[in-house]
């Protein structure tokens, strides 16, 4: 907890739960303004512990949330054509590279295996082999147990993987109720993330028609095609595109400006998102919240799902967003103190409890 007026830490809570934050706020009824990031836990804590306070959404986090939505949209546009914004040639080259990498890795493991066995056949001890090869003695002993290079262990399947339910789905398909089996799996929160790839890849063993899957997104009319950097010819990644999308023209370098122009020409979705992003930046810098409602309406009408979701969240948190535009407060001080706190925790090698951190973080002579 940071006092924005005195620019100092006033307390450190034991956790980041709604209960502890609300309890602290209730014990300080004089709080009038609370600046916070976009975490819903903090918003709920302020509503419960300090209903009289005005909530201020941090402007930096607002822009970051918009950037994340733009990045998600650019990634979705690539996945919609199953190309991840790469051209056909790039996909073939990537597949060839992966195949060659696997063969090279297999050959490398074979060479290691032959070297270890050759040294062992010379009568060298495990310790001497370890000294010559810089491999651990335990690893050498394991390799020498086999007559061929051992296969690498596969990672344990997680409940979020569709293959975790492979046997279950196969039985459901055999019984003729594959859709019912998937519906049953969705009752488990751990299986929810696996439903999408299961629906997209489910087909009868040995080939056959796939199960029809309900649409998750409305189709957009905006064109989005692979876009390449005009200087290098490489595909522009969603991360780079999102960062450039929210950057004003006056802050772009010449090379970045050429990328933005190429993205606007090659992707109608990017062009629309950049118009919205520049308007949003203008609203934040203009200190007037009146144009925000019109911006939210236009963002929802854009038919770009991540942008629509971002706009709807803004509308639910409209009071805090309006205060962020009109009031001077932000989370800058708190973010700086959080970095300091993390540095202290790392320097204490995990031994820093709440009381010790309070002693290190709070000003001298501070009384809780």
Q: Is 160 helix (H, G, I), strand (E, B) or coil?
A: coil
Query: Among residues 242, 235, 241, which one has the least CA distance to residue 87?
Result: 235
CA distance 330 to 92: 48
Specify the pairing of strand 33-36 against strand 54-57: parallel
Mean pLDDT per 10-residue run, the chain (368 residues)?
Answer: 86 84 88 85 86 89 92 72 45 64 78 86 87 82 81 64 67 66 51 45 48 44 66 86 92 92 90 94 90 92 90 88 89 85 80 78 68
Q: What is the pLDDT of residue 243?
A: 93
Q: What pLDDT sits at residue 80? A: 41
* Alpha helical stretches, state H, the chain: 18-26, 40-49, 59-80, 88-121, 126-133, 137-144, 166-175, 178-185, 195-201, 238-245, 254-266, 268-286, 292-300, 305-316, 318-326, 332-347, 354-361
Residues 290, 293, 296, CA angle at the centre, nearest 5°? 140
CA–CA dist 345, 356 (Å, integer)? 10
Task: Render the burial of 151-180: b for 16+ CB within 10 Å, e for the rest.
Answer: eeeeeeeeeebbebbeeebeebbeeeebee
Judge residue 136's burial from the number of C-beta atoms within 10 Å of its C-beta, 0-12 exposed, 13-18 middle, 19 or more buried.
exposed
> Phi/psi class of residue 303: alpha, beta or left (left: φ > 0; alpha: ψ in -120 to 50)?
left
Count other C-beta atoms under 10 Å from residue 14's C-beta: 10
Element (H, E) at 34: strand 33-36
User: What is d(CA 353, CA 234) in angstroms, rounded to the nearest whole number?
Assistant: 49
What is the Cα Rg of the chain in Å?
A: 28
Domain positions in the chain are 2-58+330-361, 63-82+232-318, 88-144, 155-225
Give residue 261's pLDDT. Answer: 93
Q: How many CB atoms lie within 10 A of CB 148?
A: 7
pLDDT at 190: 43
């Amino acid at each position: 907890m940071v006092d924005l007026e005195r620019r100092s830490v006033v307390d450190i809570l034991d956790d980041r739960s709604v209960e502890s934050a609300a309890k602290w706020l209730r014990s300080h009824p004089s709080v009038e303004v609370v600046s916070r990031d976009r975490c819903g836990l903090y918003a709920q804590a302020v509503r419960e512990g300090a209903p009289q306070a005005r909530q201020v959404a941090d402007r930096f986090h607002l822009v970051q949330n918009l950037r994340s939505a733009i990045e998600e949209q650019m990634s979705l546009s690539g996945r919609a054509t199953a190309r991840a914004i790469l051209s056909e040639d790039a996909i073939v080259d990537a597949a060839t590279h992966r195949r060659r990498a696997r063969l090279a890795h297999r050959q490398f493991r074979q060479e290691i295996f032959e070297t270890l066995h050759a040294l062992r056949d010379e009568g060298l001890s495990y310790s001497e082999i370890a000294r010559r090869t810089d491999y651990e003695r335990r690893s050498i002993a394991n390799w020498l147990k086999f007559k061929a290079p051992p296969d690498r262990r596969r990672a344990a399947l997680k409940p979020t993987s569709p293959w975790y339910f492979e046997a279950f789905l196969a039985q459901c398909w055999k019984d003729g109720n594959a859709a019912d089996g998937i519906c049953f799996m969705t009752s488990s929160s751990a299986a929810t993330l696996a439903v999408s790839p299961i629906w997209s890849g489910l087909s009868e063993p040995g080939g056959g028609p796939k199960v029809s899957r309900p649409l998750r997104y409305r189709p957009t009319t905006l064109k989005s095609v692979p876009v390449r950097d005009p200087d290098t010819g490489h595909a522009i990644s969603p991360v780079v595109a999102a960062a450039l999308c929210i950057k004003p023209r006056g802050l772009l370098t010449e090379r970045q400006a050429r990328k933005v122009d190429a993205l606007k020409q090659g992707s109608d979705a990017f062009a629309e998102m950049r118009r919205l992003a520049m308007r949003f930046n203008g609203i934040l810098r203009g200190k007037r919240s009146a144009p925000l409602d019109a911006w939210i309406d236009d963002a929802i009408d854009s038919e770009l799902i991540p942008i629509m979701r971002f706009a709807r969240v803004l509308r639910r948190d409209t009071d805090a967003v309006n205060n962020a535009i009109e009031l001077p407060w932000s989370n800058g001080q708190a973010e700086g103190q959080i970095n300091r706190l993390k540095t202290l925790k790392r320097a204490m090698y995990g031994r820093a409890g709440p009381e010790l951190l309070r002693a290190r973080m709070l000003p001298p002579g501070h009384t809780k």
